Amino acid sequence: MKLSSLPVIDLVVSEPQTLSEPTSKTSDRATVARSSDYRTSEVATVIESTVDSLVRPQKLPQAAKAAKVGKWGIFASTFFTIFLAEMGDKTQLATLLMSAQSEAPWVVFLGAAIALIATSLLGVLIGRFLATRLSPKTLETSAGALLLFISAMLLWDVVHF
């Protein structure tokens, strides 16, 4: 392991404090021993915290993760996820049928685009509201349960019709 990859630890040892004139040699030794013990425990604490930070991976807060990915990374991830999720979706099929039946395909496109923007805005606003009140793990579990419920209901409709 390179020395440059280790975290830098600055141990600042304060200048020795001036002691009042000891009355005897034993009190002088006790003062030096206490001072030495204090510095040793300080060094041990710094070493322990450094080892902990090297051994245990530090979890980044969500804001730090978002900053690490960058705004364009978040944009691209969102775009491709929604684009692929909407491919062949019933909304796209409904838009396809409306465009084929109407005499104004651009009006259908504009209506569908505004509707998708409105539903996306609603999702973002509700998601932001919930993110301030619930943990990310709870949100993830709830979204998964909701999607499973919707899938089961759609499957039920298909089987019974």
Inter-helix orientation angle 105-131/136-160, to 10°: 140
The pTM score is 0.47
d(CA 89, CA 59): 37
> For position 108, what pLDDT does the model report?
94
Tokens of residue 129, six digits = 């509201």
Render each residue's pLDDT in the chain as its tens digit; 161 residues: 444 444 444 444 444 444 555 555 555 555 544 555 555 556 556 556 554 554 455 555 555 555 677 889 999 998 998 888 888 888 888 999 999 999 899 999 999 999 999 999 999 999 999 999 999 899 999 999 999 999 999 999 999 87
First to last CA, the chain: 66
Q: What is the pLDDT of residue 85?
A: 84
Question: pLDDT at position 37, please?
Answer: 56
DSSP, collapsed to helix, strand or coil, labels residue 7 as coil
C-alpha separations of 75 from 62, 81, 100, 156 in Å: 16, 10, 31, 35
